[in-house]
Structure 1
Amino acid sequence: MIDAGMAGFRHLFFHLLSALLLLASLPISNSQDEQAQALLHLKSTLLDPANCLETWKESSSPCRFLGVTCDSTSGEVTGILLPRSNLSGEISPSISLLSSLTTLLLQENSISGTVPAELADCMNLQVLNLSSNSLTGQLPDLSGLKNLKVLDVSSNKLSGSFPQWIGNLSGLVELGLAENDFDEGAIPPGIGNLKNLTWLYMANCNLSGEIPGSVSELSSLGTLDFSQNKLSGPFPMAISKLRKLFKIELYQNSLTGVIPPELADLTELREIDVSRNQISGRIPAEVGSLKKLTVIQLYRNAFWGELPRGFGDLQFLSAFSIYENRFSGEFPANFGRFSPLNSFDISENNFSGRFPGFLCQNNNLQFLLALDNKFSGAFPDSYANCKTLRRFRISQNSFSGRLPNGIWGLPLAVIIDVSDNEFTGRIPWEIGKSTSLSQLSVRNNRLSGEIPAEIGKLSQLQKLYASNNSLSGRIPSEIGSLNQLTTLHLQDNDLSGSIPSELGLCSRLVEIDLSQNTLGGGIPGTLSLLAFLNSINLSRNLITGPIPDGLQSLKLSSIDFSGNKLSGRVPPGLLVIAGEEAFSGNPALCIDGRSGNRWDPELGGCRVSSKHKYVFGNRMVFTVLVFSALIIFLAGLALVSYRSLKLDESIRNKDLKQCMEDEPKWKIESFYPLELDAEEISNLDEEHLIGSGSTGKVYRMDLRNRCTVAVKQLLKGNEARVLMAEMNILGKIRHRNILKLHACLTRGDLSLLVFEFMPNGNLYHALRRREAKAGEPELDWNKRYKIAMGAAKGIMYLHHDCSPAIIHRDIKSNNILLDEDYEAKIADFGIAKIAEESDSSCFAGTHGYIAPGNA
């Protein structure tokens, strides 16, 4: 009986416990359903091309959703962790239903829209990171989130007033508001309330005014970044009280004053960047005692005086940049001796004396820039083995002696610039080891000897500046191997021999200057192969022979062949570009008299040689004999045919008189294969008038061949005759972005120009028109881009591909016409200039076809 009673009791107890558990589970289940719906709604407002949210389904528990964390006891959603998930779209306000949410990490996605104000209802939120997205609008007031420790909305597009309420978030440890478009405003004084803050990132968010003294209250701060703002006033003394600070970023502001000696109290300081301000004065000697410094960036300020000697004892320094200041005196001799220096730039100061020899002591230096100082003496041999160097620039100093051979052969160097010094000696064969070199600049030194053939091994070399030295010998033919070379400056040396024909293999050459040497031989015809050549100067040498005609095909803008021993005819195309001065000092050169150019006193007209006269005489005798025989033959034929014709003399005289009295016929000069009927073209109807200007009227005409054209009838006068002469040039232009001139028609004083018709008018009016249905602008951004590209291509063609070049001189939206596909066509060459030697080739007024409504 007792056992049976106990069994019944246990059975009853089990049922009661099950009921209690069932009741307890009901609110949890309901809560999970509600949170699942909130998450699914969030999913619906996001775009997920990478399918990161694929597991977010109604049939699954939200705690199994990818990137979602839950409390192990209650099952409540506590975190959404989806950084760098390629998400876009917007954040749903339904997120406020996740009342237990403590962490929301959505940084480094492409989420747009506004930050939902409902986030303020997530009272348990501790970490909110929405940085590096495309969020817009004003940041809502989140000051009620008293548990918030991390707030980072940096690198978005937030606007509106700067959040003054951040001072209320006293529990914050990390705060990032940088890289946004807030309205200009001051740093909130309440920032001093954030005494637990260790990371403060407020760069490039339009802050102005002075840095408030309350910053000194941020006693836990390790990183302070107010860079790229509009902050002014003196360097803040308050910063010197932040003893845990290890990183200061104040660059690109308008700070003034001096660096206080108290900065030396920041014994944990590792990085300081106050570049691009207006800070002045000396660097306090005490700052040299900051032994943990790894980065010092002071460039573009007004510092002066000597550097602290203590900088030479730093053991962790990797980056040192103080260029564009007024530092002076001798540089600390031990600088870099104990530190892993990687980057060193002291350019544009007034340092003098010997150059420090230990910058590459630890074989880590990549960037050595010391240009524009007053260093003197020999450059230290210790850098000959600095194989890590990538940029080596010590130009504009007073270095002398030989540059160590090892420096010429730096295998990783992209730039070697030792120009504007007093270096002597030769360019050694080791130069061939600098196989990464893009620019070699040794100009304005006292280098001598030949250019070594090994220079041909520099397959990446783009720019070679070696002017104003005493280099001698021949230009090595190996230079033809430099297929990346764009600039070759060897002027002002003692180079001799001929210009190597292999130079024509340097297919990317843009500039060649070999002037003021003693080069001889001829101009290689292979230079005509240099399609990108823009400037060539061979003046003041001993070059002989003719100027290759092929150079006329290049897009040259600058030529100087003066002061040589060239002979023969100056190619007319080159004469148009450079003028007679570019060929002066060559007594044997002449200008072809048929070119119509003015003659320089030193350049006579080309005469026919005696040999040519002999050939010409023989040809004339032969021509006279053939012509005489032809006349005799025709005379006999006329006599035989006379009787069969039996024409009445009176009738013939009458026909002749009638013909003379008839109206003169149309003269048509066509420039495109378009079938035109002069009588049809000349039948202009005032009903089709689409515009008029100072030189005539413009008509739309639908031809019988179903082609629509624009016909401009020119007014009588000298202006029209000038126009017709110029149209003979423009009519030969062939480019899709230049308005086509189909033909010119003349009869007596009447002149007609036939252009292609532009149904969309000009750009000026198209920019102001709106679509009839939607009221939207007619030109969307794709059309505008297409028009801009087309206009640019047309201008480039006129300047570089026309011979002679045509300079429009009146590019504006009115003169860019649009066809049915919104392809741009440049028109109205009324004040354009043909690049001839005389201004007489300029158009006199606005003559070209102007689109409807603007003629």
Structure 2
Amino acid sequence: MNHLASWNKSNSPCQFYGVTCDLSSQHVIGIALANLSLSGSLSPSVSLLPSLVSLELGANSLSGIVPSELANCTNLQVLNLSTNSLTGKVPDLSALKNLQGFDLSTNGFSGEFPTWIGELLGLVELGLGENNFDEGFIPQNIGNLKNLTWLFLGQCNLIGEIPASIFELTSLGTLDFSRNQISGIFPKAISNLQNLYKIELFQNNLTGEIPPELAKLTLLSEFDISRNQLSGEIPPEIGSLKKLKIFHLYRNNFSGEIPEGFGELEFLWSFSIYENSFSGKFPANFGRFSPLNSIDISENNFSGEFPRFLCQNNNLQFLLALDNDFSGEFPDSYSSCKTLQRFRISQNHFTGKIPDGIWGLPNAVIIDVADNGFVGGISSDIGVSASLNQLYVQNNKFVGELPPELENLYQLQKLFAFNNSFSGQIPSQIASLKQLSSLHLEGNVLTGPIPSEVGLCTNLVDLNLAQNLLGGTIPETLDLLTSLNSLNLSQNYLRGSIPEGLQALKLSYVDFSNNQLSGGIPPELLLIAGEEAFSGNDGLCIEEIPRTQKYSSLSFCNSNHGRNGVLGRRVVLMIIIFVVLIVLLAGLAFVSYESFKLEERRKRRDFDECKGKDSKWVLESFHPMELDPEEICNLEEDNLIGSGSADDEYDAKVADFGIAKIAEGSELSCFAGTLGYLAPGN
């Protein structure tokens, strides 16, 4: 709807939507356009409305700065620009002395906190919280605003202690300094503010204890000092604050018991004290007379029986009591608490059976009874809890079959039932759980096959069925779980092969160990999980060692498994090549040796034949011979290597690789030199 359609020239401004005019003067005195999804910036021309008394533009999408000209609207009594996207520094508007309501909270203002605010003495309501001012102290002059009933300065970077002047604002009904860095001891002087009905000091750095004087604030309805560093016990006097509706102390260091007076409160709506060190028995009548809607007492040390009356008035939506020391059976009275949305009592010492009605909570989003000593089974009433998102029953002593009525939990995302004694088969009706992301059934005595219908739970991310008695084969339908990240089927009696299709999933963890699986391990799964995830399956084998490791303790696949090991083929091929090379080398060596022997025989034969033809040839090598000059064909002395004698006889020596032969009775007159060699003298 265009709420500003009437803002046109054909209409008088007094006819504009959201505009109020003075009946006599027809001057604009009010503009009320809150929560209309308006955008744009605030025009300086607003200062042309001198009679403007009220400007309310909260809960829109306005941006830009607040024009300083707004200070000219001196008749303004109400200025509300909260919950927009305004930025920049807050201009000096100290001239607006008639202001009673001033709210700029929940914007993006920055710069120094506007200390001039203490000059607007007529202020009744002041809101500057949820802005990004520079870190600074709470201005003391705020104590001058004696008419203040509402003070909201939460989350605006305030530091230091709360000024004493604040505790002089006796008209104050709401005091909110939450989500700052305020320090110091919790102020006793706060008890001076007799009209306070709301104290919001959570998420600061306050220390000390709750003063008993706080009980003087008889109008106190909302009290939230959670997420500080407070300690000590709750003074018993606080239990006398009959108008208490909200009481939050969570994430502090409180101890001791809860005063019995809290069991008599008639208006208590929300009670949250988790993450403290409270102990002892919880008040037996707590919630009996009040419209309790929410209680969180988790992570304390409460003991004894659980209080019976928290849902006495059928208004309880949030019951959280996990991680305490409660014991005994859980009260039957909660069977009729159909308003419950979050029911968490895990990590206690409860025993006995859970009342059937608690399984059937039509509005429950979470049922968490894990880590106790409960017995019995999950009632068929679970089918009534159609809104259930998370079911935690792990680490108990539950028995029996998982009820087929689980199929009605269409919104279920997490089912944790591990470490119990559930038996029977996994119900095929699990196929109806289309939103299921985590299924943990490990550590039970489930039997039968893994239902193929599990593959229809296509949002599964985490599937753990380990440590059961499951048999049969791994369903091929698991490769339909395209979101699956973790799969644990270890310690069962599964047989057959691991489906190849699982390699296509985005798995980061798998475990098939200690089953009766056989066949080849899909290499991508082996690469993801390592050999440990496949150990204890004598029939499993690998085709090759993963590239990330040098050795493998797993056996290699052979024909019996329907696969030929790639690594085995490579080894055989290398052996064949090696043998062939050895044979070739041996053959070459043999042929070379035979050729050498043949050549030797041929040479010997030629020599023998030569020797037989002319037995007068005698080979003399490196033997001294005495020759006459005529016998060496009148060679000159320079052509001989050797030494002469006085009677012209020479000792001839072989040189230049030569040989000398004497052939007696030969037709040749002489022989000298080596074949192919010409003596230097010729």
Distance 2:268 2:357 in 1: 25
1:315 aligned to which of 248, 255, 266: 266
Q: How many residues align?
A: 564
Distance 1:386 1:611 in 2: 61
| 1:565 corresponds to 2:511 | no
2:280 aligned to which of 312, 329, 347: 329
Secondary structure, aligned partner of 2:335? helix
Residues 378, 402 of structure 2: 8 Å contact kept: yes
| 1:125 corresponds to 2:84 | no
2:338 aligned to which of 378, 384, 387: 387
CA shift in 2, pair 1:67/1:461, >3 Å: closer
Residues 507, 532 of structure 1: 8 Å contact kept: yes
Secondary structure, aligned partner of 1:287? helix
Q: Deviations over 1:681-713 (max 9, x none)?
A: xxxxxxxxxxxxxxxxxxxxxxxxxxxxxxxxx
1:492 aligned to which of 417, 438, 443: 443
Residues 369, 394 of structure 1: 8 Å contact kept: yes
Aligned-pair CA distance for 1:51: 5.8
1:417 aligned to which of 368, 371, 395: 368
Residues 351, 375 of structure 2: 8 Å contact kept: yes
Distance 2:152 2:21 in 1: 30
| 1:374 corresponds to 2:319 | no
Secondary structure, aligned partner of 1:135? strand
Identity rate, percent: 65
Distance 2:554 2:361 in 1: 50
2:152 aligned to which of 201, 208, 227: 201
Distance 1:611 1:172 in 2: 89
2:197 aligned to which of 242, 246, 257: 246
Residues 203, 227 of structure 1: 8 Å contact kept: yes
| 1:237 corresponds to 2:167 | no
Match for 2:420: what amino acid?
Answer: N
CA shift in 2, pair 1:86/1:488, >3 Å: closer
Match for 2:91: what amino acid?
Answer: P
CA shift in 2, pair 1:308/1:612, >3 Å: closer
Distance 2:459 2:127 in 1: 48
| 1:400 corresponds to 2:351 | yes
In structure 2, the partner of 1:227 is 178
In structure 2, the partner of 1:446 is 397
Match for 1:557: what amino acid?
Answer: S
Distance 1:93 1:274 in 2: 41
Residues 352, 375 of structure 1: 8 Å contact kept: yes
Aligned-pair CA distance for 1:221: 1.1
Secondary structure, aligned partner of 2:213? helix
Residues 557, 563 of structure 2: 8 Å contact kept: no
In structure 1, the partner of 2:593 is none
Match for 2:187: what amino acid?
Answer: P
Q: Deviations over 1:743-780 (max 9, x none)?
A: xxxxxxxxxxxxxxxxxxxxxxxxxxxxxxxxxxxxxx
Residues 520, 563 of structure 2: 8 Å contact kept: no
Residues 50, 86 of structure 1: 8 Å contact kept: no
Aligned-pair CA distance for 1:320: 0.7
Aligned-pair CA distance for 1:73: 2.6
Distance 2:377 2:402 in 1: 8
Aligned-pair CA distance for 1:137: 1.5
Aligned-pair CA distance for 1:510: 1.1
* Structure 2 portions without partners, runs of 5+: 565-682
In structure 2, the partner of 1:282 is 233
Secondary structure, aligned partner of 1:604? coil
Aligned-pair CA distance for 1:517: 1.2
| 1:361 corresponds to 2:302 | no
Aligned-pair CA distance for 1:612: 9.2
Aligned-pair CA distance for 1:211: 0.7
Residues 52, 85 of structure 1: 8 Å contact kept: no
Secondary structure, aligned partner of 1:112? strand
Aligned-pair CA distance for 1:89: 2.4
CA shift in 2, pair 1:517/1:214, >3 Å: same
Aligned-pair CA distance for 1:611: 9.4
TM-score by length of 1: 0.64
Match for 2:302: what amino acid?
Answer: F
CA shift in 2, pair 1:68/1:592, >3 Å: same
Aligned-pair CA distance for 1:493: 1.1
CA shift in 2, pair 1:145/1:539, >3 Å: same
Aligned-pair CA distance for 1:74: 2.9
Residues 584, 602 of structure 1: 8 Å contact kept: no
Secondary structure, aligned partner of 2:64? coil
In structure 1, the partner of 2:4 is 52
Match for 1:245: what amino acid?
Answer: L
CA shift in 2, pair 1:190/1:515, >3 Å: same
Distance 1:599 1:68 in 2: 83
In structure 2, the partner of 1:105 is 56
Secondary structure, aligned partner of 1:533? coil
Higher CA-based Rg: 2
2:540 aligned to which of 585, 589, 613: 589
Distance 1:71 1:106 in 2: 20
Residues 389, 410 of structure 1: 8 Å contact kept: yes
Match for 2:498: what amino acid?
Answer: I
Aligned-pair CA distance for 1:309: 0.9
CA shift in 2, pair 1:543/1:265, >3 Å: same
Match for 2:511: what amino acid?
Answer: D
2:406 aligned to which of 455, 458, 471: 455
1:63 aligned to which of 3, 11, 14: 14
> How large is the Cα RMSD of the aligned pairs?
1.9
In structure 2, the partner of 1:505 is 456
CA shift in 2, pair 1:75/1:609, >3 Å: closer
In structure 1, the partner of 2:94 is 143
Residues 587, 602 of structure 1: 8 Å contact kept: no
Secondary structure, aligned partner of 2:122? coil
Q: Deviations over 1:550-589 (max 9, x none)?
A: 1111111111101111111111221121111111111111
Secondary structure, aligned partner of 1:310? helix
Which one has the bigger helix percentage? 1
Match for 2:178: what amino acid?
Answer: S
Distance 1:353 1:612 in 2: 64
Distance 1:434 1:194 in 2: 54
